[in-house]
Amino acid sequence: MTDPDEQAVVTVATASVAETEAVAETLARVLPAGGVTVGLSGPLGAGKTSFTRGLAAGLGVDTSLVASPTFLYLTDYPGRGRIVHHADLYRLLELSGADAAAAYESIGLSAVLDGDSVCVVEWWDHYQGPAPAALVRVEFTIENAEHRRLFVVFQTSDCERAAETFRAELLASGLTTAG
Ligand SMILES: Nc1ncnc2c1ncn2[C@@H]1O[C@H](COP(=O)(O)OP(=O)(O)OP(=O)(O)O)[C@@H](O)[C@H]1O
Ligand SMILES: [Mg+2]
């Protein structure tokens, strides 16, 4: 397992949905091979589902399939080589204790995490299971109606190198990084 203390952060600013999708599509190109979890956190309407759509596009998924799974909890999309699982833990917020644990188990996320697929999880801050072997966290903040700041935290093996490659690819695509 990757040392959870070992991480590398890339900060990106976006000024539109299209830019948030482009950041995610770029991330798809630098994700490690095999199983990886992408945990998205941030307030309502921050852009988590938009980011998922961009990431899915980068992984060869037909993006017309990608909607917010808030009431379904977990959806699967066939991607290029890898399945993409899309989960939304928002409704776990309403539950506590044993109810939250039972609801978490019923989602089925624990069965697919750390497999060979890409698991994208909205409301990652509500995740209750063990730390995934390879994790990229994306924390969103809303600056105003159109601007978002994304903190992309690589908690993967060779995370410094992954972050460096991601930064270079973002710059090559004209996206604005800040550290
Ligand atoms: N820079 C931006 N990036 C992403 N979305 C943006 C941006 N600027 C404005 N938006 C708007 O913010 C909203 C983001 O919606 P989205 O469903 O992606 O958010 P979410 O974080 O998944 O919300 P929820 O918490 O309800 O799941 C959309 O209405 C989109 O048009
Ligand atoms: Mg959403």
- Span of 63-67, 71-75, 141-145, 148-152 with lowest mean pLDDT: 71-75
Per-residue pLDDT at 152: 98
Pair 58, 64: CB distance under 8 Å: no
Which residues line ligand 1 at a C-beta cut-off of 6 Å? 14-17, 19-20, 42, 44-50, 68, 122, 146-148
Neighbours of 158 (CB within 10 A): 14
Instruction: Render the burial of 33-44: b for 16+ CB within 10 Å, e for the rest.
Output: eebbbbbbbbee
CA contacts within 13 A on the Cβ side of 110? 11
Tens digits of residue pLDDT in 30-44? 999 999 999 999 999
Predicted TM-score (pTM) of the model is 0.95
Residue owning the nearest CA to atom 3 of ligand 1: 17
C-alpha 97/C-alpha 120 separation (Å) is: 24
